[in-house]
Every structure is written in C-alpha cells, then in structure tokens.
C-alpha cells in the first residue's frame, strides 16, 4: 500500500507517527530533509517528513523543498498537509491562534522555485488560488471550536533573520495576515507536481512592530510552538480522518490534481 497523504512538519514538529516504517528516498534534486516515516493514522496511510530535518539542521533558505515534494510524490502522496509556525501581522491575532490562509505573497529569493526549467518545454502552472480548497475545508472542519481564521494571506520572507519593524508594517499594509519563512516555494512546487496542498499556520508571536512587539526571538517562538504542538498534532489527525479517499469523485475532479492536464512535460513525473 502507498500513502496518499503527506505531512510536512515545521519548526518544533519533528515527529508524528509512533509506529512507522522509515524510507530513504533519492531524488533528481538530491536528498530530502530527512528519511520519510510511513504509518497509519485513523486507518489512513500517511507519510511524514520534518521540513527542517530531525534536529532542525536546515535553515529556511536551505531546505531542499524540491527533494521533499518529489520524494513524497514518488511514494504515492498526492495530498499534502503542511503546518507551520508564523508571526501575526495584526494585533487581534495572538499566540495559539490558527490561520488557514487562502493566499500567499512570496518574498523569498535564491531558492529553487521550480522542478522544471533545466530543459524544455517550458511549464507554466496556474497559481491564482495557491491552496487546495478541499484541504482548506478539511482543516476548518477539524478545527471547529478552536480559535481559527478561515482566510488570510501568508507573507513568506526569506529568513533566516526576522523582519524589521518597517518590513513588518509594510507586510501588513499590503494585506498580509501572518508571516513565515517556509511556505514558498513549497506550495508552488506541490502545484507543479499536481499535488493538493494546504497549510495551517500556528501563531507563535506578534511580528516586530505589531501590538508593541519590539523584536521576535527564536527561542520564544519554539517555546510557544512547543506549548501547542500536542493540539496541532491532534488537529492534523482529525484532518486526515476527514480528507476524502483518493477514489472519491471530489478528489478526482480537484483542479490541483488536474493542473498539468494537456501540458507537455520535459520528463515523466514519479
């Protein structure tokens, strides 16, 4: 059996499956961040990979996003849940709150942003709606009763430094809801591989300049994330339980899965 659901763990989220098989995957883009764990969650087979490595050895700009997504797809994954830690850009959202964004602003640079491009033909994908609506709905269904916002814009900065106050206020002025360092190019690469993808953001702090916040401290971010990791893992288990099976018509018709239909690709996908 092959897992159809993949989970990418963010900062502080390095383990998920208690009874699992470890799989090492080689990709055309090098090694993934870590070996992939495969196990059952509520009767569904899932694959888990820690985005930053088992010991947080990869800074955001050094994560091999292409290898991570390619490895998951090669194992059978077509639906990806990608929780992450973020800072809030609005005073009304605070530590412990959850945001399921529907839009993203990419401010990263120097990262490998596509699995295509080394040779023709050129592949242009639709990315107007960057997150899978079905997976977003599953997050919101599972998070009923929790402090969760069902819309918002994730601003992704390059890191590893945090924003200046001026940058933070600018991000808010252009419509940003939360800010993080790992949401791109991860979401776009998943779309290039015709995988359904959505993130849920756990707020760990207010970004610099928001609600009197002077500076963001990494140790404080990890401490806040650690306080909520149990809640987040339980939420992810509930999301897995409500995601339709691959044979379901809603999944078969999903625009994420059909995004490459009719395109000529430079190589065959795994």
Q: Which of 19, 106, 205, 211 is catalytic?
A: 205
- What is the per-residue pLDDT across 83-133, written as a single tens digit (0 to 9) for each? 999 999 988 888 999 999 999 999 999 999 999 987 788 999 999 999 999
Which CATH number is correct for 5-252, 3.40.50.10420, 3.40.190.10, 3.40.50.1580, 3.30.460.20?
A: 3.40.50.1580
How far apart (Å, rounded) are the C-alpha atoms in residues 58 and 33?
8
Q: Which two tokens stand for residue 73?
A: 């797809």
- Tell me: pLDDT of 137 over 80: yes
Q: Would you state the pLDDT for residue 248?
A: 65
Pair 206, 88: CB distance under 8 Å:
yes
Domains of the chain, residue spans: 5-252
- HEC per residue, 76-129: CCCEEECCEEEEECCCCCCCCCEECCCEEEEECCCCCCCCCCCCCCCCCCCCCC
Residue in 102, 207, 211, 261 annotated catalytic? 207
Tell me: pLDDT of 251 over 70.
Answer: no
220 is catalytic: no
DSSP class of residue 198 equals E
pLDDT tens sequence across 24-75: 999 999 999 999 999 999 889 999 999 999 988 999 999 999 999 999 999 9
> Within 10 Å of residue 62's Cβ, how many Cβ atoms?
13
* Active-site residue flag, 205: yes
Chain position carrying tokens 């939360």? 178
- Beta-carbon contacts of 49 under 8 Å, excluding residues fewer than 6 positions away, are 6, 7, 8, 9, 32, 33, 34, 36, 37, 68, 71, 72
Q: Which of 198, 216, 217 is nearest to 208 (CA)?
A: 216
pTM, to two decimals: 0.94
Q: Is the pLDDT of residue 191 over 80?
A: yes
The average pLDDT across 159-183 equals: 95
């Amino acid at each position: 059996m092959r897992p159809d659901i993949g989970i990418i763990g963010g900062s502080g989220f390095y383990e998920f499956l208690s009874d699992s098989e470890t799989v090492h995957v080689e990709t055309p883009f090098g090694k993934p961040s870590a070996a992939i764990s495969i196990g059952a969650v509520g009767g569904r087979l899932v694959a888990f990979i820690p985005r930053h490595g088992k010991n947080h050895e990869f800074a955001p700009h050094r994560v091999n996003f292409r290898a991570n997504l390619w490895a998951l797809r090669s194992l059978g994954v077509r639906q990806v849940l990608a929780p992450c830690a973020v800072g809030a850009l609005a005073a009304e959202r605070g530590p412990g709150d959850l945001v399921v964004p529907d839009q993203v602003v990419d401010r990263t640079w120097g990262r490998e942003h596509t699995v295509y491009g080394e040779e023709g033909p050129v592949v242009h994908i639709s990315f107007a709606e960057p997150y899978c609506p079905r997976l977003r709905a599953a997050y919101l269904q599972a998070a009923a009763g929790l402090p969760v916002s069902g819309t918002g814009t994730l601003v992704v900065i390059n890191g590893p430094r945090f924003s200046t106050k001026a940058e933070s206020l600018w991000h808010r002025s252009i419509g940003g809801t939360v800010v993080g360092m790992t949401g791109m190019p991860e979401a776009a690469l998943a779309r290039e591989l015709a995988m359904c993808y959505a993130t849920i953001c756990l707020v760990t702090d207010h970004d610099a300049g928001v609600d009197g916040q002077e500076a963001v401290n990494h140790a404080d971010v990890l401490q806040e994330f650690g306080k909520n990791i149990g809640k987040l893992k339980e939420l992810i288990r509930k999301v897995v339980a409500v995601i339709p099976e691959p044979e379901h018509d809603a999944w078969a018709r999903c625009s994420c899965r059909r995004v490459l239909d009719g395109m000529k690709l430079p190589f065959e996908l795994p």
